[in-house]
Structure 1
Amino acid sequence: MAEGLKTNLLIGIGHPLLDMTAKVEKSFLLEYNLKENDAVIMSENHKNLQNTLLERYQVAYTVGGSIQNTLRIVQWITELPNVTTFFGSVGNDQNAKILHEQALLDGVNVRYKYINGEPTGTCIVLVTGENRSLCTNPGSSKYFDFAHLLKNENQFLLDTAKYYYMGGFFLNVSLETVREVSKLAAKDDRQFLFNLSAPFICYQHKDVLLELLPYVDVIFGNKSEIEALSSCCQMEVNTIDEIIVLLSNWKKINSSRSRLVVVTQSEEPVLVGINNRVLTFPVPTLKDKIVDTNGAGDAFVGGFLSQFIQDQPIETCIKCGIWAASQIIQQIGCTYTGKASFQI
């Protein structure tokens, strides 16, 4: 354990979900108008999806929710309990108990808001070869509000953390929470870390993202998400490198540090934009070991943040992110076995 680590260093706010993972054929995706390597919110088109999945395929249940998964990976690597604190809302049901118990075992300080009469959210993960398609039923997770953070026992945690991590999916839950937390970070010289989450988020929340971007210290996204952000914001650029440089130099409220833009590209190199430069980090090939790519992005960010919150060099943060993702894709869901073996 590094000397710089302490409890409640990093707060994550997001959707606590129970993942339901199954290997399916591409034809099954077509039945429900789903695409590979995409993420959607469950709608009327998907109302029979869960029942059909359970009838036709073997389903594995694992702890899910992008932000919560990332914090679990941070805990796995740092090994100090309660380095991270997670806020989100769940139902008063068995699925919530499963999520709570597993998160505690993983070392995350869980501060759920319990919603009566609404089920804990679920995420159906459809695996086709090396690809995955996500269909989420947010359930109770969409009822979180900023007032939960203002309770005395939670306000203290909010006021003492140094890093805040949120994602684009949460813009559909509590815009007030995203705004207030990002402003708090800028005002008190803490860091606000934001994951774009999915391409459709960029189109759905164009104006909000333009408002939020000046408060963001680190942006995470895959190539499709970064390109979607560029497109919906009408950035006059032609290449991914140009997009990254433009985003890293975008107006920033807290000018005491440069903005980082971290872009993953599946098996292609990770790109990092900072100070008018784009750094490239190769990703080792593991095709013969891939079991499930769902959770790879969450694990990458978790590995990255486990070093970032310890003020390690960007190269070390990226190296750990790539290592963490390489471990997770060899498991079903965002799960791991044994102690983390990453070494600087």
Structure 2
Amino acid sequence: MEYDGILLGMGNPLLDISAIVDQQLLDKYDLKLDNAILAEEKHVPMYEEMASKYNVEYIAGGATQNAIRVAQWMLQVPGATSYMGCTGKDKFGDEMKKNSTAAGVNVRYYEDESAPTGTCAVCVVGGERSLVANLSAANCYKSEHLKRPENWALVEKAKYYYIAGFFLTVSPDSIQLVAEHAAANNKVFMMNLSAPFICEFFKDAQEKLLPYMDFVFGNETEARTFSKVHGWETENVEEIAIKISQWPKASGTHKRITVITQGADPTVVAEDGKVKLFPVIKLPKEKLVDTNGAGDAFVGGFLSQLVQGKPIDDCVKAGCYAANVIIQRSGCTYPEKPDFK
């Protein structure tokens, strides 16, 4: 099988500013663990404060870019994956490009001259993380960039598409173009619920694209928020996963599969009105370094097998393997080679 450019991701490229912080910082900026929000005015000083007070690391991030980089790492075929998003024309943007290109991803950033590259504060307390994204340039992505012949060629070449829900806040028209192309050409289109606020405040945009989604990823908190927003009076993640999988589809080529991770609890996979549970690899608490990127890594591992035509069981195993590797390291980083069997 030809893997060149088989998987395309689109999203918000963000430079992660990651540090182990204390509860005091979370309280000061009104942050909750295991949550992701967009930065408001009150969060602006936080980035400087983190850099001056704590030992910070800078890592190329953003949910979709993380997943694509992990899929690329698992595949070990240079150029198997491509990625688009918007950065600023600055050192952070250059750093990110260098980082992702070195990882083997074919990146096509739209460079915005007026805004700096987006950043994401990753505040880690006791291994759990709280994310505060300052989108800046990531917010400036335009579908004109996607439509340029050299970029649209990447869309045509790909057979699988993955876009985190966060991109709904930036360029829903770009997502729509890719979704319609996938449906018209029997390709596989996938999205992630990404965060409770996406399910709440971008409900209409999410609903408009749901019929095109062949796979829906998310975690238990996002699934429960989705259920609440849609008035499904259930907190049961398995029931919610089935209901999402049964949402009407734009094309009948692929059935929809819902994949919901639950931290240390089993991963829920719903298809054909049935649920399968997959236990995750148990990790002793003392080995847990940082949960940031665990969900993205799971998706990346999953996608690396999916694009090879492997069964869902293998995809989930690869997802669990990748997440297990990532949470034992700081940020969404990984060793040189995977040893997934």
TM range (shorter): over 0.9
Match of 2:319 in 1: 321
Partner of 2:304: 306
Identity in percent? 42
Q: What CA distance in whole angstroms lies between the structure 2 residues aligned with 1:40 and 1:5?
A: 38
Report if aligned partners of 2:128, 2:291 keep a CA contact under 8 Å in 1.
yes
1:131 equivalent to 2:144? Answer no
> What's the counterpart of residue 288 of structure 1?
286
TM-score (norm 2): 0.98
Indicate the residue corresponding to 1:204 in structure 2: 201
Superposed CA offset, 1:127-179 (max 9, x none): 00021000011110111111111111112111121111111111111111111
Secondary structure of 2:78's counterpart equals: coil
Q: Which amino acid aligns with 1:108?
A: V
Structure 1 counterpart of 2:69: 72
1 CA distance for matches of 2:313 and 2:291? 23
2:13 match? 16
Quick one: which of 166, 172, 175 aligns to 2:172?
Answer: 175
Question: Which whole-Å CA distance do the structure 2 matches of 1:285 and 1:38 have between them?
Answer: 22
- Return 208-217 or 231-240, whichever deviates more: 231-240
Match of 2:228 among 231, 250, 256: 231
Please tell me the residue identity of whatever aligns with 1:40: I
SS in 2 for 1:76: helix
Paired residues of 2:281 and 2:321 also in contact (CA < 8 A): no
Q: Does 1:41 align with 2:44?
A: no
Instruction: Give the residue type in structure 2 aligned to 1:298.
Output: D
Deviation at 1:233, TM superposition (A): 1.4
Instruction: Note if contact 1:93-1:120 (Cα within 8 Å) is conserved in structure 2.
Output: yes
Q: How does 1:68-147 map to 2 (within 5 A)?
A: 68-147=65-144
**TM-score (norm: length of structure 1):** 0.97
Instruction: State the match for 2:210 in structure 1.
Output: 213
Q: Separation in 2 of the partners of 1:185 and 1:79?
A: 25
Take 2:328 and 2:8, find their aligned partners in 1: how far apart are those partners? 27
Name the structure 1 match of 2:337.
339
1:57, CA displacement in angstroms?
A: 1.0
Q: Is 1:59 aligned to residue 56 of structure 2?
A: yes
1:47-75: per-residue Cα shift (whole Å, max 9, x none)? 21112212221111111111111111111
How far apart are residue 9 of structure 1 and its match? 0.4
Checking the alignment, whether the CA contact within 8 Å between 2:224 and 2:235 is kept in structure 1 is no
Question: C-alpha deviations, 1:299-339, integer Å up to 9, x for none?
Answer: 10000000011110100000000000000111111111121
Counterpart-to-counterpart distance in 2, 1:235 and 1:212? 19
CA distance in 1, matches of 2:102, 2:248: 41
Aligned match of 1:30: 27
The DSSP-based 3-state class of the residue aligned with 2:120 is: strand
Count of aligned residue pairs for this structure pair: 340
Shift in Å, 1:201: 0.5
Match of 1:252 in 2: 249
- Tell me which residue corresponds to 1:297: 295
What's the CA shift string for 1:164-213, capped at 9, x where partnerless?
11111111111111112111111111111001110010000112222211
Deviation string 1:277-311 (CA, Å, 9 cap, x unpaired) is: 11101112212211111011111000000001111
Q: Which residue of 1 aligns with 2:150?
A: 153
Q: Which residue identity lines up with residue 256 of structure 1 in the other structure?
A: T
- Look up the equivalent residue of 1:313 and give its one-letter code: P
Moved over 6 A (4+): none
